[in-house]
Amino acid sequence: MTIEHHPPEELIARFAAGRLDPAEHIVIAAHVAMCARCRRFVAAFERLGGAALEAAEPAALAAGACDAAMARIDAGDTVPAVPRSRRAEASGLPRTLDYYEIGRVRRVAPGLTMRPIVVPGATKSRAFLLMADPGTRMLEHTHTETELTCVLQGSFSHEGGRFGPGDFDLGDETIDHRPAVGSDMPCVCLVAMSGKLRINGLLGRLIEPFIRL
């Protein structure tokens, strides 16, 4: 598997620092899991962060901070376990999705369906799986804000090139594109989107209210 398209370094740095919106985080995490190059970037940023912490002046803890932390540990606060059935259902998807609830399939347009992903704490973006039949061509569109996409299966192409498994695509209000899915197999993408899809042309304005992503 050859990955040609990667997130900007600024996004990788924010991912390594834990500063992305949770929905955007899982898309970058999926790409990093599939991309050795970006894993090296993450490791480098983490080393830089560790060095910065070591060089920082120590700060005094608030009174009772240690006791409060130990009390929380003793109380056994844990993240609820994800049912095994959810892991079985997510077979073939990035392992990071094992920890999120994945909704039912919803039809978006001819040849295009989606499954929403429940991401606790997400405030800026929403996450979903987008599935497209082989040969599907989307209408030309742009975005009012940002769209982060990681290809999990299959491929699509647009003016920016061809995107296969592991490839990352970033869309925003400066980009107009018309993705076309490869003809050999369905395309499955993990997407984090903020704002709305803006479809170009008269037809787009007519059908836009009926498209929910």
Residue 204 has pLDDT above 50, yes or no: no
Judge contact between 49 and 13, C-beta under 8 A: no
User: Residue 63: inside a domain, yes or no?
Assistant: no
**Least confident piece of the model among 63-67, 164-168, 173-177:** 63-67
Evaluate whether residue 120 is within a structural domain.
yes
CB 89 within 8 A of CB 102: yes
pLDDT at position 22: 94
Give domain status of residue 68, yes or no: no
Rg from Cα positions in the chain: 20
pLDDT at 83: 54
Is 88 a residue whose pLDDT tops 60?
Answer: no
Whole-structure pTM over 0.75, yes or no?
yes
Give the number of domains in the chain.
1
7 and 31 Cβ atoms separated by less than 8 Å: yes
pLDDT at 99: 83
On whether residue 66 sits in a domain, the answer given is no
Picking from 30, 61, 14, 48, the residue whose alpha carbon sits closest to that of residue 153 is 30
Domain of 30, in residue numbers = 1-58+82-213
Tell me, rounded to whole angstroms, the distance of Cα 24 from its chain centroid.
Answer: 5
Residue 64 lies in a domain: no
